[in-house]
Amino acid sequence: MVTKVPDKIDTLFINCNIATMADNALSIIEKAALAVKGKTISWAGKEKDLPGNFKTRCQKIIDCDNGWILPGFVDCHTHLVWGGSRSNEFEMRLNGASYEKISKKGGGILSTVKATRNASKNELFAQASKRVTALLNQGVTTLEIKSGYGLDLETELKILAVIKNLDENFPLDIKATFLGAHALPPEYQNDQDGYIDLVTETMMPKVKSQGIATAVDVFCEHIAFTLPQTRKVFEKARDLRFNIKLHAEQLSDSNGAFLASEFNAMSCDHLEYLSLSGAEKMARHGVTAVLLPGAFYFLKETQKPPVETFRNLKIPMAVSTDLNPGSSPVHSMTLILNMACILFGMTCEEALLGATINGARALGLDQSKGSIETGKDADLVVWDIDKPSDLCYFAGLTLVDMVMIKGGINKKNP
Ligand code: NIG
Ligand code: FE
């Protein structure tokens, strides 16, 4: 129920409960109220402590009917701009072919590259819009999207332009990451180093000059790029002042996390095969671990990321969809929360921190996003649940009552 009170600008949520996610915990406030001024949170606390004049100063009062407000989800690792489909490979895998085998035979990432090169910007935008809408409808308010299905200058720039377009046309905050070193394109099959030169000497300077990505990522793996090649990309990223992220230790231990930490990466992602020394290095350099249970599930992996080690070393754990056509066609953060608990043994609190404040950390946005604190962006979701852990428990049920991004409700929908 929305009651209009004339004259002023704020939105006031009443009759709610809040999990603020501040101080690395759910940090619950029951029987709460929350005030938004402009784009930011101006007050959150017990409703009985609400300053007397707040209700009359508000333009809009929203009665949450005893629902819960949490910070909007930060989905910090996706590849959601792609052309074509890989459902045929899904069926091949059901018949016994492995992800690596399909990839070695020119399928996998390269089949998506072909389809993405052939797609127009409009086609890519239309396909990606459906995916962004699905995430938004399930409570995602900040999103990272990687390039990496182009593997030539023109198509990488096309994907990044589509990401920019999505950011401009959707209310979510969308951050672009350049993942030119995702796979070896067909033109360079016998010249891995030549392709890395193209990435570092041509693509990265161009991406930088166009200002269309803030971070650089690499797929460091035996089916992708080696440690020395990853180092070359990171050196260039450091020179050009890109933030650094890494697909590390997903299918084997390549010591990627060790290297990424040396470069003070914002995050290392996947990490199923991470060694203890790699984790210790991450801890020393304050690198966030991004865990991707959707890919683990979809590829039927058996080696789990070392969650207990992350806990012991106090390494922040983020969780994310990894939304992509090959290893995680998963369009729901709540399903990912469920998987993080069931498959990786995370607690509901850890999973929820992973989808909010630690997701923000993985993008270097934790000063403005990921928790409900005065002065932070008013990126909020009102949920129709009895308690926060319901978000991890119900798989496949849409529980969102309302999404607010930077103080606005659906203000930039295309
Ligand atoms: O995060 N690991 C590399 N990249 C994606 C998979 C991309 C694909 O198969 O298309 C991932 O799992
Ligand atoms: Fe990925």
Contact 230, 251 (CB under 8 A): no
Take atom 12 of ligand 1 and give the residue whose Cα is closest: 327
Q: What is the pLDDT along the chain (414 residues), one digit of tens a residue?
A: 444 433 454 899 999 999 999 999 999 999 999 999 999 999 999 999 988 777 788 889 999 999 999 999 999 999 999 999 999 999 999 999 988 888 877 789 999 999 999 999 999 999 999 999 999 999 999 999 999 999 999 999 999 999 999 999 999 999 999 999 999 999 999 999 999 999 999 999 999 999 999 999 999 999 899 999 999 999 999 999 999 999 999 999 999 999 999 999 999 999 999 999 999 999 999 999 999 999 999 999 999 999 999 999 999 999 999 999 999 999 999 999 999 999 999 999 999 999 999 999 999 999 999 999 999 999 999 999 999 999 999 988 889 999 999 999 854 333
Q: Which ligand is nearest to the CA of 108?
A: 1
Take atom 7 of ligand 1 and give the residue whose Cα is closest: 326
- Closest ligand 1 atom to the C-alpha of 221? 2
Superfamily of domain 9-71+373-412 in the CATH hierarchy: Urease, subunit C, domain 1 (2.30.40.10)
Q: Which ligand is nearest to the CA of 75?
A: 2
Instruction: Tell me how far apart the alpha carbons of residues 312 and 109 are, in angstroms, rounded to a whole number.
Output: 35
73-362 CATH, one of 3.20.20.140, 3.40.50.970, 3.40.50.150, 2.30.40.10? 3.20.20.140
Ligand 1 pocket test target in 103, 219, 245, 323 with most atoms within 8 Å of CB: 219
CA angle 380, 247, 172 (to 5 degrees): 20
Contact 294, 339 (CB under 8 A): yes
Take atom 11 of ligand 1 and give the residue whose Cα is closest: 327
- Closest ligand 1 atom to the C-alpha of 322? 1
Taking the domains of the chain in order of start, what are their residue ranges?
Answer: 9-71+373-412, 73-362
What are φ and ψ of residue 126, in 5° steps?
-65, -45
Query: pTM of the full predicted structure?
Result: 0.95
